[in-house]
Structure 1
Amino acid sequence: MTELDARLGKLLDGRKEKNRFRSFKEYDTTSDSGLVDFSSNDYLSLTSSKALRKAYIERLASTPSIFGSTGSRLLSGCTPSHSLLEKRFSEFFNAPSSLLFNSGWDANVSFFSSVPQPNDWIIYDELVHASVHSGLRSSRIPLERRISFSHNDPLSLEDKLKIITNQASSSSSSKKQEKSTVFLALESLYSMDGDFSPLPKLLDILDKYISRNRQCVILDEAHSTGVYGKQGRGITHALAEEGGFELDSNKRKRGKGRVDVRLMTFGKAVGCSGAVLLCSPTVRSFLINFARPLIFSTALPHSTIIALECVWDVLQSEEGDQRRRSLMSLSTHIHNSLDKLLSKVPHTILHLPPDPIIPFPDLSDRDTDILPSKPGSPILGLLTPTPHALSAFLLSKGFIVRPVVPPTVPPGGERVRICLRAGMRYGIIDKLVAALGDWADLKMAEKDQEVRAKL
């Protein structure tokens, strides 16, 4: 063993001692295995769509180029297929322009490492994705100008904005402050608690303290792409049928462009890989010139471009609507079932995060297929002090439910995470909830034995 292996091995041993060690797990999820996957982000079950598979194979057979793109977009990888797909996305999402990336991670790192300038500010939800943090570490924004606010908390955001405005008013370089941009980084649907950002409230508060020409709101829609909004256009588009502005509490249209940049990713409900950043033409051009992950990476292969075209055909069809309706119905069912179960279980054994803010109270009279006033989330984080043991117990019952532990979540936020898919049956969900009830009964019995032993 080399000295390097020895040092790294000690660090890995430390992770094992803290029960934070990670490793790859392989599961057979074929119909013969008897295992049901509740950990996949394949929310619309598109990866198992027979119609999509047929359309994809047919299009591959009729397309000359199906393998690699042969280079980065700045070299040989900018093909008509890539440009046409970007044009389709710009029109579909009602965006000024769009730019393809190999992943949502690359897109976030590209944007946050290059677009914000040294005199700017970045405010971000404390639970925003790790890729945002990685981008900021590579940016030129000083550490003191990167400020987090408490998760989904409008009052906390207001406190942070007061700090910025107070510092600007007392600064000797007021002219520079007047020209600085305040970036606000949010997600529409957060992947650990499965809760939605209260976008209208947060953006109204931003308007209160920062003039519109100094704002840049970036919304990561990784977990809402394909699921919410008309034909899966996302939360921003659902909040107003012309994406790019929100609604205030009086249902009046506010200034266009309140969400300036949207990230739509393809690795979850879309069932593929890659991402698209929806932004202004100027931001797009800037990223092409300065975003290193884009400049120095081979472009998405033709096989992926073809797959995305086929997926969007499904998303814009009746099949896509049916899959979204099915997912929302399953979400309502499991939330109702878990509410009944957990009302009888001590919080110290198993519980959901606190009830989230109802994020879109102004839309109760809107089409529920687009965005209900309390939209169901396909993600549920069940908090427990023993996530690994609960995950193993559920696996023994035939359910793949993965544990999530620090540093992915803060200490005390250990959990198992349940993800729903549109192709699931109600009976399978009922069996999972029953297994969770068995686990809770087992743990409550163990606690009773401990109490009796002490008497």
Structure 2
Amino acid sequence: MTELDRRLDSLLDGRREKKRFRSLKEYDTTPESGLADFSSNDYLSLTSSASLRKAYLSKLESTPSIFGSTGSRLLSGCTPSHSSLEKRFERFFNSPAALLFNSGWDANVSFFATVPQPNDWVIYDELVHASVHSGVRASRIPIERRLPFNHNDPAHLEKVLKRMQNTASTSKDTSTVFVALESLYSMDGDFSPLPTLLDILENYIPRRRLCVVLDEAHSTGVYGQQGRGITYALGEEGGFDAGDQRRRGKGRVDVRLMTFGKAVGCSGAVLLCSPTVRSFLINFARPLIFSTALPHSTIIALECVWDILQNEEGDQRRQSLMSLAEYIHNRLDQLLSRTPPNILHLPPDPILPFPQATDLPAKPGSPILGLLTPTPHALSAFLLEKGFIVRPVVPPTVPPGAERVRICLRAGMDEKMIDGLIAALTEWVHQQTTPVADLRAKL
């Protein structure tokens, strides 16, 4: 063993002792395996769509170039297919401009590492994705101008804004305040109370100095008309020039990140922004400049997916997912109402995120449930023995004390599968509580 391996192994031992060690695990999720997968982000089950497969293979047959993209977008990788897809996204999401990235991670890191300047501010929800944190750390913004606020907490956001105001020099300040949020958070499965947060921001920061960046990774394809996302459903898409004739809402969300690795069933991402931001990223975003562009096969797949998202099949899949979300939440509520919270519980029930929205329920169904437990690895192993793939999530992915197993739903799941999972969770709870009851009886 080399000195390097010894040093690294020592660091890994520390992670093992804290029960935070990670390793890659393979699961057979074919129907023959008998395992029910509750860990996948494939919310609309598009990866197993027969019609998508048929359309994709048909387009591959009729398309001359299907492999690679041959280079970065700045060299040979800016093809008519890439540009055409970006134009489609501009129209679909009602955005002034669109820029493809190889992943949501690349897009977030690119934006936050390059667009904010040294005299700007970044305010962010404490549970915003790790890619935002990495981007901000790579930026030139001083640490004291990076301000977190408590997760989905409008009152604490207001306190942070007041603190920022007291620190800012004068009313002539021309710095930009960037605000990083997510529409649907991937660990708790809760929605940002976006209208409330935007109202608060509007009260403290002039519109010309504000840039709200919303990560819609877990809502792309699922919410809003034909899966256009939360921002579109609220009419909050922004960044338009004065002469633009497209649909106009309040326009208080300046930048949106839509990713393709979850409900869309592919890979890659698109950043929806102003033409100026797009040009700036093309000139300064190193993950974009020095990465080979998305391959033609992925561009073709995305075109096929969007055909489905915009037709009846897409509507049916979204409706199926929402029905399942309502069903599992009702079943879980029954179980947790008689379960000690120190054994199993959900995160605190948030405020209604969209109380006055016209195109969204006041509290939409979420396909993500984070079941908090002090023994996530043991619970995950128990559920696997019962035939259910439910993965544990531990620090540093979540804060200490917020260990959990994460349940994800997919369109088309059988309710009997959910019933089986609830039965297994019930058995787990019984095993955890029975020894305590027996001890009390003996006393």
TM over 0.5: yes
Which letter does structure 2 place at the counterpart of 1:407?
P
- Can you list the C-alpha shifts for 1:391-434, whole angstroms capped at 9, x where unaligned? 00100110000000001000100000000000201111011111
Mapped contact 1:236–1:244 kept (Cα < 8 A): no
Supply the distance in 2 between the matched residues of 1:446 and 1:232 (Cα, whole angstroms). 48
The match for 2:405 is 416
The match for 2:201 is 206
> TM-score, structure 1 length as denominator?
0.94
Mapped contact 2:237–2:252 kept (Cα < 8 A): no
The match for 1:87 is 87
Of the three residues 374, 381, 388, the one matched with 2:370 is 381
Identity value in percent:
77
Supply the distance in 2 between the matched residues of 1:59 and 1:255 (Cα, whole angstroms). 36
Superposition deviation, residue 244 in structure 1: 3.1
Superposition deviation, residue 371 in structure 1: 2.0
The match for 1:265 is 259
The match for 2:144 is 144
Mapped contact 2:237–2:249 kept (Cα < 8 A): no
Supply the distance in 2 between the matched residues of 1:213 and 1:34 (Cα, whole angstroms). 56
1:95 aligned counterpart, secondary structure: coil
Supply the distance in 1 between the matched residues of 2:10 and 2:69 (Cα, whole angstroms). 42
Superposed, 1:153-168 pairs within 5 Å as 153-168=153-168
The match for 2:67 is 67
Superposed, 1:270-349 pairs within 5 Å as 270-349=264-343
- Can you list the C-alpha shifts for 1:168-219, whole angstroms capped at 9, x where unaligned? 2xx3xx37x6210000000000000000000000010001010000000000
Cα RMSD for the two superposed structures = 1.4
The match for 2:244 is none
Superposition deviation, residue 451 in structure 1: 4.3
User: Structure 1's 379 and 430: CA in aligned 2 closer, same or farther, altered over 3 A?
Assistant: same
Q: Kindly indicate whether residue 350 of structure 2 is the aligned counterpart of residue 356 of structure 1.
A: yes
1:380 aligned counterpart, secondary structure: strand
Supply the distance in 2 between the matched residues of 1:280 and 1:70 (Cα, whole angstroms). 28
Mapped contact 1:114–1:139 kept (Cα < 8 A): yes
Supply the distance in 1 between the matched residues of 2:438 and 2:403 (Cα, whole angstroms). 25
Superposition deviation, residue 446 in structure 1: 2.3
Which letter does structure 2 place at the counterpart of 1:20?
R
Which letter does structure 2 place at the counterpart of 1:402?
R
Which letter does structure 2 place at the counterpart of 1:180?
S
- Can you list the C-alpha shifts for 1:35-73, whole angstroms capped at 9, x where unaligned? 010000000000000000000000000000000000000
Supply the distance in 1 between the matched residues of 2:117 and 2:438 (Cα, whole angstroms). 60
Supply the distance in 2 between the matched residues of 1:297 and 1:285 (Cα, whole angstroms). 17
Supply the distance in 1 between the matched residues of 2:412 and 2:115 (Cα, whole angstroms). 40
Q: Kindly indicate whether residue 222 of structure 2 is the aligned counterpart of residue 233 of structure 1.
A: no
- Can you list the C-alpha shifts for 1:316-362, whole angstroms capped at 9, x where unaligned? 00000000000000000000000011000000110011101110000
The match for 1:248 is none
The match for 1:448 is 437
2:203 aligned counterpart, secondary structure: helix
Supply the distance in 1 between the matched residues of 2:307 and 2:8 (Cα, whole angstroms). 48
The match for 2:45 is 45
Supply the distance in 1 between the matched residues of 2:294 and 2:189 (Cα, whole angstroms). 29
2:271 aligned counterpart, secondary structure: strand
Supply the distance in 2 between the matched residues of 1:105 and 1:422 (Cα, whole angstroms). 25
| Unpaired runs of at least 5, structure 2 | 240-246
Superposition deviation, residue 452 in structure 1: 5.2
Supply the distance in 1 between the matched residues of 2:104 and 2:297 (Cα, whole angstroms). 18
Supply the distance in 1 between the matched residues of 2:249 and 2:356 (Cα, whole angstroms). 17
Superposition deviation, residue 449 in structure 1: 3.7
Supply the distance in 2 between the matched residues of 1:254 and 1:186 (Cα, whole angstroms). 22
Mapped contact 2:113–2:135 kept (Cα < 8 A): yes
1:195 aligned counterpart, secondary structure: coil
Mapped contact 2:237–2:254 kept (Cα < 8 A): no
2:100 aligned counterpart, secondary structure: strand
Which letter does structure 2 place at the counterpart of 1:385?
P
The match for 2:420 is 431
Mapped contact 2:367–2:408 kept (Cα < 8 A): yes
Supply the distance in 2 between the matched residues of 1:254 and 1:198 (Cα, whole angstroms). 21
1:184 aligned counterpart, secondary structure: strand
Which letter does structure 2 place at the counterpart of 1:373?
A
- Can you list the C-alpha shifts for 1:97-152, whole angstroms capped at 9, x where unaligned? 00000000000000000000000000000000000000011100000000000000
Supply the distance in 1 between the matched residues of 2:25 and 2:234 (Cα, whole angstroms). 39
Mapped contact 1:112–1:132 kept (Cα < 8 A): yes
Supply the distance in 2 between the matched residues of 1:449 and 1:416 (Cα, whole angstroms). 27
- Can you list the C-alpha shifts for 1:264-323, whole angstroms capped at 9, x where unaligned? 000000000000000000000000000000000000000000000000000000000000
More moved, 5-14 vs 254-263? 254-263
Superposition deviation, residue 373 in structure 1: 1.6
> TM-score, structure 2 length as denominator?
0.97
Of the three residues 201, 219, 227, the one matched with 2:214 is 219
The match for 1:250 is none
Supply the distance in 2 between the matched residues of 1:439 and 1:99 (Cα, whole angstroms). 47
1:329 aligned counterpart, secondary structure: helix
Pairs aligned (count): 436
